[in-house]
Structure 1
C-alpha cells in the first residue's frame, strides 16, 4: 500500500522585472524536494487556484496573469500550459470550487465574473463592489462564494441565484452583505460544514478579524490585533486561527480557553458575544502567541495535519513553523529572487507526473483530466440555452478510479497518527535495538575502566602524600641532634 504524501503547492512571482517569469511548484513537505514545476506564469496574490485530482478525474491549476487579460490552465500530468484562456479584463483574484465546476474572478474595478469550467459559459458579470475585489473564495460544498473588497465590504453570493436565467437581466442580489469592517478586507476563509451551516472568517487593514454566522446572518465576535491584517489561516476544526500582517507578524488566537471549575479545569468557547463583543489579543491574562518573520509575508496556510504553519515571504522563502512550539523548523529557500504569492498543502495527486515522459499504456495516462473550456468574454444567451458540456469517455480494459480525499484519510488514518512510519522495515528496528544494546554494554565497560583508573590514582596519591609527610618528619628529627654533633666535631679539631 502506498502511503499518502503531503506536498506543498506554491506560486512564485517575480520580485522585480529582472527576475523573469514565475511559476507554480510542488515540493515534498518533509524534505523540500521539488516534485513538479509549471513554468510561464506570473500570478499575484489570490490569483492562483486549483481543483484536486479526485473521483476519477485529474485536477487542474488556474493562474490569472498579473499584466495580461489571460488565465493559464495546467493539469497535474504535464508541466506545460494546457490552455490559455482570455478573460474580459485583468483579474485581481481568482477561485475555483473543490469540485471544479465553477470559476470566479474579481477585478480591480469591483466586477465579479462567474464561469462554468467545463463549458466556459459566462453566467454572471456584474459590479459586486465599489472598489477592487481583493479576494474571492467558494464555500466547501461549492454552493456559495464570498468576496472581500477595498471598499471594506464583504458579500456572500448564492451560486444558484447567479445561475438563475430569470435573474440575468437585473443586478444580482447578494445573500448577505456584512458591513462592520472600516478598512479594506484583505483575506477571508470559510469554516467547516455545508452552506449555510458554516462560519466565515474575515481580516482587514482595520486590525480586526471578524467571525460571521452565516445561518443567522450575524456577527459573532470581533478580535482586535495590534497590526493591520492581510492574511488568515483557519485550523480545520476551528479550534484556532492565525492572522498575519504583511510586515511579517503572525498572531495565533485560540477559540477555546481553560477555566477552573468545581471538578477541575473545564473548556469553554471564546467569543460568540455578538457585535458588541471585542476580544483583544492577550486579554484575560493569556500570553500573546506570536511569530515574527524577518521578511514581509505574501501568503499563509496550515498543513493538513494541523501540525505546521507555512508562510510565504517576499524574498522567495517558505517558512515552516511547528504550531505547538511556534519554532521555525524548516525554511525552503529555493525561490530566491521571487515572491511566494500562494502556498497551500494537499495530498500528492495520484496523477502527478512531474517531468517524467508519458508512456503508452501507463495507468496515469488513462486518467482523464477535468474538462475545461475557454471562458466566454461576454454573455451569450444562445450558449446558455444550448449549454453544451464536453465530457471525456474512455474505453478502458481496467477501470481506474481515483479515491476521494475522505476515502484516503480514512484509509490512512492510523498512518497519520502513528509515531513511527508503519512502512519502516522490521530489520531496521532490530538493527536499532542491537545498536542500543551495544552502546549500553560499551558504557558499562567504560564505567568499569574509569573506576579502576580512579582506584590506581587514589593509591598513587596516598603513597606520595605519605612519602612527603615522612620526609618532613625525618628532617625535623635530624635538626634536633644537629648542634650537639657540631660541638663534638669542633672539640676533635681543637685537640688535633
Structure 2
C-alpha cells in the first residue's frame, strides 16, 4: 500500500515538502522552486500538483507552476495577465480555477491547458479563497470584499451568460464585514453547509439548500484556516493566536450573554499563528501548519499531539489524502 503523504508549501522559496503521515519520515521527493501564495497549492486529480507563485509586487504578470507526481522539477509554467492568489481543482481534476487580484476568476481545461473563461468578474476586490463541492458542480469563492459567492459550474460555462456576470452566481453572502480568510464546504450535495472565516473574527455557517445564514460564531482572534470533521458534527478553526478552536456545527443559536457559545474546546501547542488545516479521513487525524514552519498532527478524539514536522516559515498550504 502506498504511504499517505503530507504535502506542504510556504511563502518562502523552499519548494514543496513531503512526509509519510504514518511514520513522520520526510520523503526524498522534494518539489523544487515554489514560493506559494495563500491557498495557492492544489492537487489536480492523480496527475500533478499546481501552485500559484508569489511575484515581485512591481511585476504585473502572475504564473502557476505544475509538477508531475514522480518528478521534482517544474514541468510546466503558465504565465498570466495578473497575479493569481488561490487556485483549486475540481475532484476529478478536469478543471483548474485561479483567483486574480482584480477580483476575476480564471478557469482552465486541464487536458488541453486551454483558458475557457478569462473575463469572469466575480468580485470587486482580490480573490482570497476558492473551493469546489464534493461532486465538482459548485464553486465557492471568497474575497477581500468580505463576500462569499456560490457558482454553479454549468451556468459559469454557459456562453449565453457571458455578458451577465451577476446572473451566474447562485448565492451572494455578504454578512461578513472584512476580508474572507478561508472557506470549507461539507458533503451531502444540496444538504451541505458552507463555513466561512473572516478577518472580522467570526465564522459563519451557511445552508446550501436554503441559501441562508444558519449561525455566526465569534472568536477572540482572527481565524486563518478551517477544516470540517468528516462526520460534520464540528469544524476546526485555526487562529492567529496559535490555537485550534473546536466548534460545534449543531449547537443552537448563540445568545448575547455568551457570544462564543459554539466553541466547545481548543488545541494549543504554543506555536505561532495557525495558517493551514487539513484532515486525514483514513487516520482520523487533524493536521495544522503554522507561521513558524511547524506542522503538527493531532488525534482530535483524545486531543493528543501525535507528531510534528518542520518545513519553512510561513506555511500557507498543506493537505493529506493524496493519490
TM-score norm. by structure 1 comes to 0.60
Is the 8 Å Cα contact of residues 276 and 316 (structure 2) preserved in structure 1?
Answer: yes
Is the 8 Å Cα contact of residues 211 and 221 (structure 1) preserved in structure 2?
Answer: yes
Verify: 1:251 aligned to 2:248, yes or no: no
Unmatched tracts of structure 2, length 5 or more = 56-60
Which residue of structure 2 lines up, in the alignment, with residue 293 of structure 1? 270
Verify: 1:307 aligned to 2:284, yes or no: yes
Cα deviation per residue 1:47-97 (whole Å; 9 max; x = unaligned)? 1111242xxxxx211011110611111111222212111122110111111
Q: Which has the higher contact order (CA 8 A, sep 6+)?
A: 1
Structure 2 distance, partners of 1:237, 1:278, is 29
1:177 to 172, 180, 193: 172
Verify: 1:34 aligned to 2:26, yes or no: yes
Cα deviation per residue 1:361-411 (whole Å; 9 max; x = unaligned)? xxxxxxxxxxxxxxxxxxxxxxxxxxxxxxxxxxxxxxxxxxxxxxxxxxx
Structure 2 distance, partners of 1:7, 1:121, is 30
Is the 8 Å Cα contact of residues 304 and 346 (structure 1) preserved in structure 2?
Answer: yes
1:239 to 233, 245, 255: 233
| CA positional deviation for 1:292 | 4.5
Is the 8 Å Cα contact of residues 291 and 326 (structure 1) preserved in structure 2?
Answer: no
Higher helix fraction (1 or 2): 1
Is the 8 Å Cα contact of residues 222 and 279 (structure 1) preserved in structure 2?
Answer: no
Cα deviation per residue 1:3-51 (whole Å; 9 max; x = unaligned)? x53221111331xxxxxx2211221012222222110121121011112
Structure 2 distance, partners of 1:291, 1:121, is 45
Which residue of structure 2 lines up, in the alignment, with residue 110 of structure 1? 103
| CA positional deviation for 1:277 | 9.5
Structure 1 distance, partners of 2:243, 2:138, is 31
Is the 8 Å Cα contact of residues 123 and 143 (structure 2) preserved in structure 1?
Answer: yes
Which residue of structure 2 lines up, in the alignment, with residue 441 of structure 1? none
Structure 2 distance, partners of 1:306, 1:239, is 17
Listed as ranges, the matches of 1:149-188 within 5 Å are 149-173=143-167, 174-188=169-183
| CA positional deviation for 1:306 | 5.9
Structure 2 distance, partners of 1:7, 1:315, is 21
Structure 1 distance, partners of 2:16, 2:258, is 38
Structure 1 distance, partners of 2:90, 2:43, is 8
Number of matched pairs = 315
Instruction: Give the alignment's Cα RMSD to 1 decimal.
Output: 2.3
1:341 to 306, 312, 316: 316
Residues 69/198 of structure 1: CA separation in 2 closer, same or farther (3 Å cut): same
SS of the residue corresponding to residue 318 of structure 1 reads strand
Verify: 1:63 aligned to 2:51, yes or no: yes
Structure 2 distance, partners of 1:212, 1:23, is 36
Cα deviation per residue 1:163-206 (whole Å; 9 max; x = unaligned)? 11212233252111011112211100010123x33211111122
Which residue of structure 2 lines up, in the alignment, with residue 426 of structure 1? none
Residues 77/120 of structure 1: CA separation in 2 closer, same or farther (3 Å cut): same
Cα deviation per residue 1:110-151 (whole Å; 9 max; x = unaligned)? 111122222233232232112111111111111110111111
Which residue of structure 1 lines up, in the alignment, with residue 5 of structure 2? 7
Verify: 1:85 aligned to 2:78, yes or no: yes
SS of the residue corresponding to residue 321 of structure 2 reads strand
SS of the residue corresponding to residue 324 of structure 1 reads coil
Residues 278/166 of structure 1: CA separation in 2 closer, same or farther (3 Å cut): farther
Which residue of structure 1 lines up, in the alignment, with residue 58 of structure 2? none
| CA positional deviation for 1:278 | 10
Structure 2 distance, partners of 1:325, 1:282, is 21
Is the 8 Å Cα contact of residues 126 and 144 (structure 2) preserved in structure 1?
Answer: yes
Which residue of structure 2 lines up, in the alignment, with residue 205 of structure 1? 199
* CA radius of gyration, larger in: 1
Is the 8 Å Cα contact of residues 241 and 274 (structure 2) preserved in structure 1?
Answer: yes
Is the 8 Å Cα contact of residues 212 and 220 (structure 1) preserved in structure 2?
Answer: yes
Structure 2 distance, partners of 1:138, 1:287, is 28
Structure 2 distance, partners of 1:171, 1:84, is 29
Structure 1 distance, partners of 2:283, 2:23, is 18
Structure 2 distance, partners of 1:37, 1:193, is 35
Structure 1 distance, partners of 2:270, 2:279, is 16
